[in-house]
Structure 1
Amino acid sequence: MRRLTAASAVLLALAVAAALAGCGRERETFEKAPVVLISIDTLRSDHLPAYGYRAVETPALDALRRDAILFERAYSHVPLTLPSHASLFTGLLPPEHGVRDNGGYPFDAAAHPYLPRLFKEAGYATAAFVSSFVLHKDTGLGAGFDVYDQGLPGVEARAELVERPGMATVGAAIDWLHARPAEGAPPFFLFVHLYEPHTPYAPPEPFASRYRARPYDGEIAAADAAVGSLLAALRERQDYDRALIVLLSDHGEGLGDHGEDGHGIFLYREALQVPLLLKLPGGGRAGTTVAAPAQLADIAPTLLALTGRKVPAAMHGASLLALGPARRIYSETAYPRLHLGWSELASLIEDRFHYIHGPAPELFDVVADPGQTRNVLEAERRVYGTLRQALEAIPRELAPPGAVDAETARKLAALGYAGRGSLASGRLADPRTQRDVLRDLQHAKALVAGERWSEASELLERLVVRKPDLLDGWFFLATCREHLARPEETLAAYRRALELAGGAPEYAFYVARQLYRMGRFEEARQHAELMLTGDPENRDAHEMLAAVALGRGDLDTALAEWRRARRGSPAFLRDLGQALAARGRTAEAVEVLGGGAQAEELLGLAELRQGRAQQARVHLERALALDPRLAGSWTALGVALYDLEGPEAALTAWRRALALDGAQFDALLNVGLVSARAGRRDEAREALRRFVATAPPARYGPDIAKAQRLLREIGG
């Protein structure tokens, strides 16, 4: 990616040295101050009381505003979570740090001035607590953080985290704060990311009831409560007053303005203008307001300067304490081109004018027309020409997106984003001429988020007929058909998405997975091997090849491919582990299952199925030593003990199983049968009656009939 030229950099922002020069107060530093950066995802500034909105209550943010400097006009550089946070942490614009979308553009922290790393090198303890998979550690953002908490560790987080509640994220951050020594500890840099009020708007109580008609505002209220808990913890630790605290959002939300419900497509103010509060240690400048325009790229150089750190020359942001009016703020979105086959958009904001560049350019006077309803381009030709020329001087080449693994693509889809897009070329439509298509796509995604698969499928089927090259449309249609159990149609939709994505490996994986589920193992294997052509280490491909081999009973190949993939679904690991154990390959089974109580339980079950009671007993007793609450292990151990020691030992184990879980139907039936044989008719009748009344007939039909016959024999 080409760097910005010196001329274009001057156009975009004041030079850092000039911005930091000025009166002594502006140059004041707080070298030992804790630094807390709070990012509330998707928060429009004009939906906060601090910015004049009156339809939601935010007591925590209001209190912080009284202690802080409020920036009236702060802007994001891109209305997408990952690239916006990359700008936030680097002081660079998206064309410079290279992150242009939520997937397909990994961030290289080592190649850029990265705020967490710079604080770590300065001796700070650094910790991040995030609420969305979009910011998972493997994006590259984890570099420089001592702790990067994403809900669950490592691979588990990538497999499970989509969005966690803000209160849970803040709770983890508070635990980290409380674990720090009260005295003698180094200063800290704490980053907390809340995903409320991102879609789907589903605030917890009491906010769901309080804001039933305005769920977006309800999520803002929930985020405010989470922020309040964090600030209270800082006060409790006596960190609040001496801390540098920044609160902001990464971008806004359309909410239907200009035809966009969400974000990522357009560059109007509702998507770009964000709240920004800066609290200085000791209450400096508390309650004041700055009217000069600010940008998210200003945050990193400001925090470095205020803590006495050297500001890297590569950062283009300015000090928030010395902003001037003479600046141009750049924003962009490549999402329309990458995912919808439309043109990308870019914009410049200068003073009162906002220029949006695309096939159908627009110019707005945001002072006279804050809602951006009147295009003044024809009346302001000189302003238009100047801003267009300045924007065209900025290097904005868009590289093709890189590979996105299938798990990442699936998690992004759950958040309303398709995975990696494709770099559309040729004459591309302006997104603003496609509002009817966007409306239907947004509606379909909302139906998908609500798991209304049939309605979403019908809408998407009509949409892809009208727009057969709409990658997102085909991908979400395939997802709907998959949930509706329409395998052939699911396969056809994934094949079309694969074609539109130019053979991208993650889409090839979806085709291979669908073929595998349909029992077409050879075709699934062929697609997986195609994924390896350009990337021999593709873990998705090796994972699929392992599953295909296991389906065919080829344990050697399944094990080898699993080792190359270094991961597998819980069901695959269970099945492979059990199959290996059944063949007597215990060491390999333990390797696959990873040890632990449940692994020992599975090994015990495998030995039991082979009639090896003693070996089963060893594994099951190990499982129960690790976790005595495993009711299934007690049930299985009873079976082994019946062969090894007789009825009394078996009955003891089965009773333990039932005490832990009354739905252990095998244990319940065995207690009835064995007690009847031992002449314990009362215990037998009680167990058999419970079994007949509660066991699911679909699974235990013949056993229920057997129990009923025995009850008649013993007078039940």
Structure 2
Amino acid sequence: MRHPKYLLFLVFSVLLCLFSCNREGNSKGAPPSPTGIKNRGDFNVLLITLDTLRVDRVSVYSDKYVKTPNIDRLAKKSYVFTRAFSHNPVTLPAHVNILTGTTPRFHGVSDNTGFRLDERFLTLAEHLHRAGYNTSAFIGSFPLDSRFGLGQGFDVYDDNYGTHNAMELFFVERPAEKVIEPALRWLSQPQRQQQKWFSWIHLFDPHQPYLPPQPYKKEYHHDLYSGEVAYMDASLKVLVDFLENQGFMDRTIIVVTGDHGEALGEKGEETHSYYAYNNTIHIPLMLYIPGTKGAFIHENVCHADIFPTLCDLLGVEIPHHIQGKSMIPVIEGGKPRPKGRDIYFESLTPFLNRGWAPLRGFVRGDLKYIELPIPEVYNIKEDIHENHNIANRSNIKQLKRDLTKLKLDLKGKDMMERSKQVDADVRSKLKSLGYLSGSTPAATPKVFTAAHDLKTLLPLQNRMLAAIGKYQNGKFREPIAELKQIVEESPGFTLVYRHIATIYKDFGQVQKAIEILEYGLKKNPGNISLMSKLGIMLAEANRPGEAVELLKLCVQKDKFDPENFNFLGVAYYKKGDFANALENYRKALELDHNHASVFNNIGSIYLRVYLAKRDERAYRLAMDNFDRAIAIDPRLFAAYNSRGAAYKFKNQVDKAIEDWKKTIEINPNFIDAYFNIGISYLGMGDRVSALKYFRLCKERFSRKLPLRELQRLDRLIAEASQ
């Protein structure tokens, strides 16, 4: 029997362009003019989307910063578009544009957060599947998880990139080689040689944070972004080799494009999703067609053009609602597009998540118009870097009218306003819970002025990024103070409330996290991201009843997000209501059957049942679920921690310690594992090993531990030192 002072500190863990190419292109390795296209029909299709890729980081466009020999291998015989544009500088909407052939004005997806492609919209995968194609997708990161609607029409949608933790600041991702491996397994299946197929490969590596592996980290230490691009290109070698060696190059159309670019500090923007300058919406686009020699194409094209172009090449009907235009007439005959064609773009993240002025605009020939309270107009033929705003020499009133007409012509359901509304019953419930009283909501202006312009508010954006940088460097008070000042100046900046809460929780101040989220929710009533995070924090603070009520509202507002059901299950678990917890976990699995965190949480329920009733069947179910979680996501540290606890309860201490050490290996900041290892060694009489882990814990986390736990740690250190 264990001595009380050796009770484990167990947590049944819940995871809760610089454009150096001129407009004639870098002509190395490509013929000067297009060649006719013959034998349209039974081609395979490979779509490769390279996330966050600037034009000037692909050496067929410019080799100033980095060489991309494997992308260039495809480009040599491809049609390389020098003036291709994304409609959004954000991952999810950009890919929705590509895969639906429509713009966000039609399908309504304008940001990563809070949006999902509705099932009523036709995707390229669905269209080709109906035409007899086998379909597959291999995804690099969370923004394109199947829960967001892009899995429609795919026989295989491999989004096994790891478990997304709502507490983290960055998206979970898997490196390029780990995306390409399952793609090659699928392409290697015998039926790929007999049946037509469409496969999409998404690589996420150039996205922030820039963490290239060696030797690219060393070689590009001065420019880690380019190091990520170099690594991604090197990873593509095995794919290009495979296509050549298996004979697929003779019968596969290949599209390579970036979803958007990266600002890298230009014009004051550090990454993307803020402005819509060419460094983030002018994108690389290459089209390889078997039997042709390729060429540089200098006409304006866009992401929405990819869908109809593929249909044109495959001899498949182009659906009537498609808003893009086939690029084949331009390629085949060198026929220029009408100069009046307008390519719509938008950047609405600052509007949706901050309440700042919405950014919309269009590219027409050499003219680019950006609609903001302080409007911008550029001649991108002469000024690709957009250094000279010629708005004062332009007919802004006419351009505004043209944009209004374009938005109407693109039709569709503009879902931005709907996504910001609070349903009447949800609003009423929030009021009864006390989240709509005692504070004035942050109203979105009806008329945006220069004070709401993104250029005016850029310092707030960059102050937020600087504060996050300080937090990542281990600071606490300074980033908290700066972020609080930002929300005082801009109460609608909902992302900042979430960041403050994350920092508070990381430093063991969960009550402070709750208070800032409650304040943010009163300022932004009905904001589901604040509601869900507050619900998680309430559960963490052992206030499960309140957490349940709030998270039920989240489920009501968004029934397609498995995280809402997962978090609600956690709240019921904390409440001791295992039946409702299991019900919600199972609903989460219906939406995402490979949700490793949910399997871990289910295992925690069965382990609790075992401890209460010594039910061996419950123990086996607990272990089965922990094992399933680890099989799905071998880096889910919480599952190792939970399984370690299960081993300890069976007195399999060596296995328990092994799992807890694995927990620390994956996540060195997981405090509970240090306690668990130290306490286990102490119970075994190994005071030296116990002292090692207790001291490590104090050395690394003394600033983050609550006073009570710090005092407990000191007592354990004293005991191990005897």
TM-score (norm 1): 0.74
Q: Is the 1:29–1:305 Cα contact (8 Å) retained in structure 2?
A: no
Tell me whether 1:80 sits opposite 2:90 in the alignment.
yes
Q: Is the 1:113–1:314 contact (alpha carbons within 8 Å) kept by the matching residues of 2?
A: no
Q: 2:419 aligns with which of 375, 388, 401?
A: 401
Residues 1:585 and 1:562: Cα distance change in structure 2 (over 3 Å)? farther
Q: CA deviation at 1:158?
A: 10
The 1:349–1:586 alpha-carbon spacing in structure 2 relative to 1, beyond 3 Å, is same
Partner of 1:265: 274
1:36–1:540 Cα change, 3 Å = closer
Amino acid at match of 2:391: L
Find out whether 1:253 has 2:262 as its counterpart. Answer: yes
Show the 5 A alignment for 1:304-703: 304-323=311-330, 324-326=336-338, 327-381=341-395, 384-393=396-405, 394-395=407-408, 397=414, 398-401=416-419, 424-428=444-448, 429-447=452-470, 456-528=479-551, 531=554, 547-548=570-571, 550-551=573-574, 553=576, 572-584=601-613, 586=615, 589=618, 593=622, 595=624, 691-696=686-691
Q: Which moved more, 1:80-89 or 1:239-248?
A: 239-248
Which residue identity lines up with residue 260 of structure 2 in the other structure?
H
Establish whether residue 162 from structure 1 lines up as the match of residue 172 from structure 2. Answer: yes
Which amino acid letter does the alignment assign opposite residue 307 of structure 1?
A: L
Contact 1:182 1:237 in 2 (8 A): no
Aligned mates of 2:563, 2:654 — CA distance in 1: 44
- 1:166-211 alpha-carbon deviations (Å, 9 max, x no partner): 111011211211223464x211111001112111111111111111
1:373 partner SS:
coil
Contact 1:197–1:216 (8 Å) recurs in 2: yes
- Contact 2:50/2:258, CA 8 A, preserved across alignment: yes
Partner of 2:303 in structure 1?
A: 296
Task: Report if aligned partners of 1:346, 1:357 keep a CA contact under 8 Å in 2.
Answer: yes
Give the match for residue 122 of structure 2: 113
| In 1, Cα distance between equivalents of 2:352 and 2:101 | 25
Q: Which moved more, 1:300-309 or 1:655-664?
A: 655-664
User: Secondary structure, in 3 states, of the residue corresponding to 2:137?
Assistant: strand
Aligned-residue offset at 1:386: 4.1
Equivalent position of 2:640 in the other structure? none
What is the rounded CA distance, in whole Å, between the counterparts of 2:718 and 2:360 in structure 1?
Answer: 72
Select the structure with the greater relative contact order (CA < 8 A; seq sep ≥ 6): 2
**Are residues 385 and 555 of structure 1, via their aligned partners in 2, closer, same or farther at CA, if it must alter by over 3 Å?**
closer
Q: Secondary structure at the match of 2:286?
A: strand
| Aligned-partner Cα distance in 2 for 1:632–1:479 | 26
Does the residue aligned with 2:392 lie in a helix, a strand or coil? coil
Structure-2 separation of matches of 1:592 and 1:422: 48
Q: Distance in 2 between matches of 1:247 and 1:366?
A: 23
Deviation at 1:439, TM superposition (A): 1.7
Tell me if structure 2 keeps the 8 A contact 1:36–1:244: yes
Deviation at 1:37, TM superposition (A): 0.7
Moved more, 563-572 or 459-468: 563-572
Q: Which runs of 5+ in 2 are unaligned?
A: 1-32, 331-335, 423-440, 590-594, 629-642, 662-675, 695-711
Match of residue 247, structure 2, among 238, 243, 256? 238
Q: Per-residue deviation at 1:61?
A: 1.6
The code of the aligned residue for 2:404 comes to E
**CA distance, structure 1, for counterparts of residue 264 and residue 533 of structure 2:** 32
For 2:285, the equivalent position in structure 1 comes to 276
Tell whether the 8 Å contact from 2:679 to 2:690 is kept in structure 1 after alignment: no
Give the Cα–Cα distance (whole angstroms) in 1 for the partners of residues 654 and 463 of structure 2.
57
Task: Give the 3 Å change call, closer, same or farther, for CA 464–167 of structure 1 in structure 2.
Answer: same
Corresponding residue number in structure 1 for 2:114:
104
Q: Post-superposition shift, 1:576?
A: 2.5
Is 1:62 aligned with 2:85?
no
1:35 to 42, 45, 53: 45
- The one-letter amino acid paired with 1:581 is Y
Within 2, Cα distance between the matches of 1:634 and 1:589? Answer: 14
What is the CA–CA distance in structure 1 between the aligned matches of 2:547 and 2:356, rounded to whole Å?
32
Report if the CA contact (8 A) 1:113-1:312 is conserved: no
Alpha-carbon distance, 1:27 to partner: 6.1
Per the alignment, residue 684 of structure 1 pairs with none
Tell me how far apart the structure 1 counterparts of residues 654 and 207 of structure 2 sit (CA, whole Å). Answer: 49
> Closer, same or farther in 2 for the Cα pair 1:449/1:335, shift >3 Å?
farther
Could you tell me how far 1:503 is from its partner in structure 2?
Answer: 2.2
Greater gyration radius:
1
Matched, 1:44 2:51: no
Aligned-pair identity (%): 27
Q: CA offset at residue 542 of structure 1? A: 6.2
The answer as to whether partners of 2:442 and 2:492 remain within 8 angstroms in 1 is no
Q: Which residue of 2 aligns with 1:285?
A: 293
Q: TM-score, normalised by structure 2?
A: 0.74
- 2:207 and 2:232 map into 1 onto residues whose CA distance is 11
Superposed CA RMSD in Å reads 4.1
* Alpha-carbon offset, residue 56 of structure 1: 0.7
Q: How many residues align?
A: 604
The answer as to whether partners of 2:312 and 2:328 remain within 8 angstroms in 1 is no
Tell me what 2:30 maps to: none
The residue type equivalent to 1:573 in the other structure is I
Q: Classify 1:535/1:590 alpha carbon distance in 2 versus 1 (closer, same or farther; 3 Å).
A: farther
Contact 2:161 2:172 in 1 (8 A): no
Amino acid corresponding to residue 401 of structure 2 in structure 1: Q
